[in-house]
A = this chain, B = another copy of it.
Amino acid sequence: MSGTKPAEPGKRSLHLRILDDLEGNILSGRWPPGHRIPFEHELTEAYGCSRMTVNKALTELVRRGLIERRRKSGSFVSRPQSQSAVMEIRDIKAEVQSLGALYRYRRISRAERAAGPAERKRFDLAAGARWVDVVAVHLAGPRPFCLEERLISIDAVPEARDEGFEQGAPGPWLIAHLPWSAAEHRISAVAADARVATLLGIEPNAACLVIERRTWSGGATVTHVRLTYPAGSHELVAEFAPSQHR
C-alpha cells in the first residue's frame, strides 16, 4: 500500500524536479519577491505526491535563502539579500560607520550612453544596449574611502533613467530594484592611475584593492561595479567554517 513512485529511469528524483520547478519560477522573476508560493497541500496535489516530498523541496529552498515560511500564512519568495551572503561584502556606508568615521557620499558624474562593442561582448548585451554610467566617491571622514564606477543596464533596470544618484549611492538603490540574480566577483590589486589617484587623493601608482562585481539575471548583465580602495583602507574577510547552523 505504500512505497510507490520509484523514480522513473533517467529522471531525477521527484523532490529535485519540484525544487527545480519552484526555483525556476523564482529566479526567472515569474514569482517576484514577496509572492506567496503554493501551500504544501496544493503542491502535494499538483504533483500527486506526499507532503514529505514537497516539504523536502521547500526546506531546501529555505536553506538557499530563496523563500521564507510562516506558519498559518504560507511560504513567500524572499527579497534578495544585500549583495552576497557568502562573501560579506557589506554596504559601504555601514562599513565606514563601523570604523567610527563619518560617512559621506559624493557623486562625481552621471551619464547615459550606449554600450560599446567590447562591453556588449563582455557583458552579453543586446545591440543598442544602453548604460547609466555613474562615478562616485565614498568618504570616511575627510578622506576618500572608495571609488565606485557603476554601470546599470537600462534594459534591465529602466527606473535608473529617473535616478540622478546625487544623494544616495547606486548600490542600496539597486537592491530595492533588482530581481534575483547571480553575481561574480573579481578581486585584484592595481597601481592607481592618474585619474584614480586624483579622485582618491593618493599618489599615482599607489597600491589599490579592486573589487569588480558583475550581476546578471536571465543571461544579460544587470549591473557592473568597480570599487577601488586605497591599500590599507579595506580588507575583505571571508570565513569558511564547515558548519554554522544559524
Interface-facing stretch out of A32-40, A170-178, A226-234 = A226-234
Contact A184 B238 (CB under 8 A): yes
**Cross-interface CB contact of A189 among B86, B185, B189, cutoff 8 Å:** B189
- CB proximity of A10 to chain B, nearest CB, Å: 17
**Cross-interface CB contact of A207 among B19, B20, B190, B236, cutoff 8 Å:** B190
**Cross-interface CB contact of A240 among B87, B210, B235, cutoff 8 Å:** B87
- CB proximity of A65 to chain B, nearest CB, Å: 8
Across the interface, which residues of B come within 8 angstroms of A241, CB to CB? 182
Chain A residue total in the interface (Cβ 8 A): 44
Contact A207 B180 (CB under 8 A): no
Asked, given contacts A191-B207, A242-B66, whether A237 binds B186 with beta carbons under 8 Å apart, the answer is yes
Complexed CA–CA distance, A243 and B205 (Å): 39
Q: What's the number of copies of this chain in the assembled complex?
A: 2
Where chain A touches its partner, the secondary structure class is mixed
Residue of B nearest to A85 (CB): B240
**Cross-interface CB contact of A242 among B64, B205, B209, B232, cutoff 8 Å:** B64
- CB proximity of A61 to chain B, nearest CB, Å: 10
Contact A239 B184 (CB under 8 A): yes
Interface residue A133 (Cβ < 8 Å from any Cβ of B):
no
Contact B86 A240 (CB under 8 A): yes
Across the interface, which residues of B come within 8 angstroms of A189, CB to CB? 189-190, 207-210, 229, 231
**Cross-interface CB contact of A243 among B64, B242, B245, cutoff 8 Å:** B64
Contact B209 A188 (CB under 8 A): yes
- CB proximity of A76 to chain B, nearest CB, Å: 16
Contact A242 B185 (CB under 8 A): no
Contact B87 A188 (CB under 8 A): no
Interface residues of A in 173-231 (CB under 8 A from B): 180-191, 205-210, 229, 231
A-B contact pairs, 18 of them (CB 8 A): A19-B245, A23-B242, A64-B242, A86-B86, A86-B238, A87-B240, A182-B239, A184-B237, A185-B236, A185-B239, A187-B187, A188-B231, A189-B207, A189-B209, A189-B229, A189-B231, A190-B232, A207-B207
By a beta-carbon cutoff of 8 Å, the part of chain A in contact with chain B is 16, 19-20, 23, 27, 52, 64-66, 84, 86-87, 180-191, 205-210, 229, 231-232, 234-243, 245
